[in-house]
Structure 1
Amino acid sequence: MDREEVETLLNQLANGEIDEFTITKDQFLDFQLFLVKREDFKHFSGTAKHGGEVTYQYMVEPRS
């Protein structure tokens, strides 16, 4: 995944355009590099699935 793809997905999630999205095990490291740099990083919640997939959602209240 490149930066533009990640930013688009994260912005769509934060703006409520999509409810969630799933990334694969192979995409995780590239994705995570961009996610942790966001100011609203703690609003994103990832749930690990079988096989290394992670499903992300955006929370109104940030995690602690």
Structure 2
Amino acid sequence: MMESEVLQLMDALRNKEVEEIRVEKDDFLSFRAILVKQSDFKHFRGIAEHNGNVRYQYLETPRS
């Protein structure tokens, strides 16, 4: 997954264009590397699924 793709997906979540995004196991590490650099990192909630896939949602209030 390219950085530009990841940033587009994150912006879509931030702007409520989509409710959640799904990240496949193979893309997780590259996605997370970009995610942790975001100033609003704590607003993203990852929900683990079977086989190493993760669904991300954007929260109005940051998680603790």
How does the TM-score come out when normalised to structure 1? 0.98
Match of 1:60 in 2: 60
Structure 2 SS opposite 1:30: helix
**In angstroms, what is the RMSD of aligned CA positions?**
0.4
Number of residues paired by the alignment? 64
Greater per-residue helix proportion: 2
**Match for residue 28 of structure 1?**
28
- List runs of 5+ in structure 2 lacking aligned partners: none
User: Partner residue of 1:3?
Assistant: 3
TM-score of the aligned structures, taking structure 2 as reference length = 0.98
Aligned-pair identity in percent equals: 50
Alpha-carbon distance, 1:15 to partner: 0.6
Aligned-pair distance for 1:9? 0.1
Output one character per residue of 1:44-64: Cα deviation in whole Å (capped at 9) or x when no partner: 000000010000000000001
- Offset of residue 2 of structure 1: 0.9
- Code of the residue aligned with 1:32 in structure 2: it is R
Aligned partners of 1:56 and 1:35: how far apart in 2?
A: 11
